[in-house]
Homo-oligomer: A and B are copies of this chain.
Amino acid sequence: MFKALEDAAAGTRTALAAALEQIPFNNEGLVPAIAQDMASREVLMLAWMNRDALERTLAEGYACYWSRSRQTLWRKGETSGHLQRLHELRLDCDGDAVLLLVEQTGPACHTNRPSCFYLLVEGNQVRVTSEPA
């Protein structure tokens, strides 16, 4: 199905159920999911989704991931309050990566930084680019 859509004109539609069936989840049943801030366009984090997390995210309108460390569904912000309200969910050409455009409440990172990507490579060093809260 993803292959068939490669040549499809803009505006072509297909059933979500068929797409979900054909997502090539990895051997742990996961795909990587990128969260991007819809206002600043900053990439906030990369996490993982299984089919259940993907369906809950769509059904509930808030990002839900699979926690690989805790081996459980992880409703982002459930304990911290740092919810990600879903604006848009996209799949890539192969169906093996997810992009979420979100409205982020509070910091996205567990270090209380706005984004998880605060380690910038500069020459032969890595520099921390934002303050932990």
Contact = CB atoms under 8 A, between A and B. Distances in A.
Q: How many copies are assembled?
A: 2
Interface string A20-43: 000000000000101010000111
Interface residues of A, number: 55
A82 to B, nearest CB: 14
Interface of A: 2, 5-17, 19, 32, 34, 36, 41-43, 45-46, 58, 88-95, 97, 99, 109-111, 113, 116-132
22 contacts: A5-B126, A6-B132, A8-B128, A9-B131, A9-B132, A13-B126, A13-B127, A14-B125, A16-B121, A19-B121, A19-B126, A32-B32, A45-B97, A88-B121, A89-B120, A89-B121, A91-B121, A91-B126, A92-B118, A92-B119, A93-B113, A99-B117
A-B CB proximity, top 4 nearest: A41-B41, A46-B97, A92-B116, A90-B117
